[in-house]
């Protein structure tokens, strides 16, 4: 068995969404952490300070796992024996609680609940042998969350330093139908290359996640600023002095938002939820949200960057997806000349009916849904035929009317 003591430095796996690995590695580089790319993850070696900073500041990670040990599992008894052999008393006391998350990939084990139960029994039996009592299991708020990853015959044991998924920023108190993940929203903004000087607009903002993530970025507010706790705060080696220094350094960089950020939606309930979320933060004056019809409202700015997550059939049923996407393209062409528009969708067929030629297509996943994040450059005065796809059936690769405007001048 390969084992690693609790001393620093130690390996860390940062989990993210498929398609955001490069962006996450780049973000961590900005935090002074060099990371290696994996599938839906990156890996780095760091200290507790690095781990605290990454959890508090990363917008693109789902969780950070601290490596403890790895071993081979040929038969079921191997899992129990190897887990029991780990010195769990270094990480938790008999009076604390724990939980186990199991992930299986191409393993002889087929049931994650069985794996978690087997590991739980091993940990409980070790504590009974040493202390005569065992820690309790708490699936919601454990003192120690343990991650078990089985890849074929290789088993990796890690400690989840994040606790609840890092997409749970702490500012979203209300949601609307099919809300986009905060991590994905931040990833879309990062992939768009937003310079934080160009006005940003989400015309189908739902409960306001994309505008809020834009405001967090523009104000340099750490992604974890509104969270009450992280998993590492309950660890036996938690260093409160280092944690307070990490927070203080990050919070000292918070600044006023100087770029206009707007959001709109036709659903009044969604806008109501968005306004409640925004009011509970210090960013309320910086993000302006309005009930408005994208197809019947002038743009809020002469030009800007649009990041949009329109509804699509797998998440919100549309009567006619193709007609819906065709109308989006028509509105962009007629009202948004001079803009740059980024749109994510899993309806890959309907995306071909925009009537606009994308300048870039980035494969992403929204949960289990395969998506494309598509960029349209809406050139002022561009010829209509220059903006139409030359071959709507070709595979992807990475590459209106005037009315009153309730958004203008807010």
| CATH classification at residue 97 | 3.30.2130.30
Asked if residue 260 is part of any domain, the answer here is: yes
Phi first, then psi, for residue 187 (nearest 5°) are -65, -40
How far apart, in whole angstroms, are the C-alpha atoms of residue 348 and residue 221? Answer: 34
Whole-number pLDDT of residue 100: 97
The answer to whether residues 41 and 111 belong to one domain is: yes
The answer to whether residues 129 and 244 belong to one domain is: no
Asked if residue 401 is part of any domain, the answer here is: no
Asked if residue 406 is part of any domain, the answer here is: no
The answer to whether residues 10 and 68 belong to one domain is: yes
Q: What is the CATH number of the domain that holds 243?
A: 3.40.50.150
Longest CA span, the chain:
79
The answer to whether residues 97 and 215 belong to one domain is: no
Asked if residue 147 is part of any domain, the answer here is: yes
3-state SS string for 125-167: HHHHHHHCCCCEECCCCCCEEEEEEEECCEEEEEEECCCCCCC
Whole-number pLDDT of residue 363: 96
How far apart, in whole angstroms, are the C-alpha atoms of residue 402 and residue 127? Answer: 71
The answer to whether residues 154 and 193 belong to one domain is: no
Asked if residue 90 is part of any domain, the answer here is: yes
Structural domain range at position 73: 2-160
Number of structural domains, the chain? 2
The answer to whether residues 148 and 216 belong to one domain is: no
What Cα–Cα distance (Å) separates residue 229 from each residue in 143, 190, 201, 243, 407? 11, 25, 31, 11, 37
The answer to whether residues 56 and 192 belong to one domain is: no
The answer to whether residues 146 and 218 belong to one domain is: no
Please count the other Cβ atoms lying within 10 Å of the Cβ belonging to residue 303: 14
The answer to whether residues 194 and 298 belong to one domain is: yes
Q: What is the pLDDT along the chain (410 residues), one digit of tens a residue?
A: 444 444 569 999 999 999 999 999 999 999 999 999 999 999 999 999 999 999 999 999 999 999 999 999 988 899 999 999 999 999 999 999 999 999 998 877 889 999 999 999 999 999 999 999 999 999 999 999 999 999 999 999 999 999 999 999 999 877 766 689 999 999 999 999 999 999 999 999 999 999 999 999 999 999 999 999 999 999 999 999 999 999 999 999 999 999 999 999 999 999 999 999 898 889 988 899 999 999 999 999 999 999 999 986 554 555 577 888 899 999 999 999 999 999 999 888 888 888 899 999 999 998 888 999 999 999 875 444 444 444 433 333 333 333 334 343 33
Phi first, then psi, for residue 340 (nearest 5°) are -115, 125
The answer to whether residues 123 and 10 belong to one domain is: yes
Whole-number pLDDT of residue 341: 97
Structure tokens at 241: 């002095």
Half-sphere exposure of 161 (CA within 13 A, CB side): 26
Whole-number pLDDT of residue 313: 56
How far apart, in whole angstroms, are the C-alpha atoms of residue 230 and residue 213? Answer: 20
Whole-number pLDDT of residue 314: 52
The answer to whether residues 291 and 209 belong to one domain is: yes
Asked if residue 400 is part of any domain, the answer here is: no
Strand partners, 377: 340
Whole-number pLDDT of residue 323: 85
Asked if residue 36 is part of any domain, the answer here is: yes
Asked if residue 53 is part of any domain, the answer here is: yes
The answer to whether residues 270 and 309 belong to one domain is: yes
């Amino acid at each position: 068995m390969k084992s690693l003591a609790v001393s620093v430095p130690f390996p860390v796996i940062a989990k993210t969404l498929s398609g955001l690995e490069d962006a996450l590695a780049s973000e961590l580089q900005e935090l002074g952490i060099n990371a290696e790319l994996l599938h839906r993850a990156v890996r780095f070696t760091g200290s507790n300070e690095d781990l605290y900073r990454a959890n508090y500041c990363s917008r693109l990670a789902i969780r950070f796992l601290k490596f403890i040990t790895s071993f081979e599992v040929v038969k079921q008894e191997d899992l129990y024996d190897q887990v029991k052999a780990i010195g769990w008393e270094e990480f938790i006391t008999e009076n604390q609680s724990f939980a186990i998350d199991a992930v299986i990939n191409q393993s002889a084990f087929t049931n994650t609940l069985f794996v978690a139960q087997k590991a739980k029994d091993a940990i409980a039996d070790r504590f009974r042998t040493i202390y005569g009592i065992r820690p309790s299991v708490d699936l919601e708020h454990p003192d120690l969350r343990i991650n078990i990853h089985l890849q074929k015959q290789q088993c990796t044991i890690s400690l989840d330093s994040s606790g609840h998924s890092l997409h749970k920023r702490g500012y979203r108190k209300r949601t609307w139908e099919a809300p986009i993940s905060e991590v994905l929203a931040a990833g879309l903004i990062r992939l768009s290359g937003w310079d934080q000087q160009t006005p940003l607009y989400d015309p189908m903002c739902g409960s306001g996640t994309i505008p809020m993530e834009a405001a967090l970025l523009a104000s340099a507010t750490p992604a974890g600023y509104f969270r009450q706790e992280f998993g590492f705060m309950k660890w036996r080696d938690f260093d409160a002095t280092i944690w307070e220094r990490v927070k203080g350094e990050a919070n000292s960089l918070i600044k006023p938002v100087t770029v206009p950020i707007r959001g709109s939606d036709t659903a009044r309930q969604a806008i109501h939820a968005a306004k409640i979320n925004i009011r509970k933060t210090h960013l309320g004056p910086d993000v302006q949200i309005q009930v408005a019809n994208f197809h019947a409202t002038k743009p809020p700015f002469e030009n800007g960057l649009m990041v949009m997550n329109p509804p699509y059939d797998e998440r919100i049923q549309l009567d006619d997806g193709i007609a819906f996407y065709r109308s989006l393209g028509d509105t962009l062409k007629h009202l948004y000349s001079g803009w740059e528009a980024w749109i994510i969708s899993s309806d890959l067929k309907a995306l071909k009916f925009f009537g606009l030629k994308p300048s870039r297509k980035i494969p992403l996943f929204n949960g289990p849904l395969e998506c494309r994040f598509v960029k349209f450059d809406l050139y002022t005065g561009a010829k209509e035929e220059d903006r139409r796809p030359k071959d709507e059936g070709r595979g992807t690769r990475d590459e209106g009317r005037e009315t009153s405007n309730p958004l203008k001048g807010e």
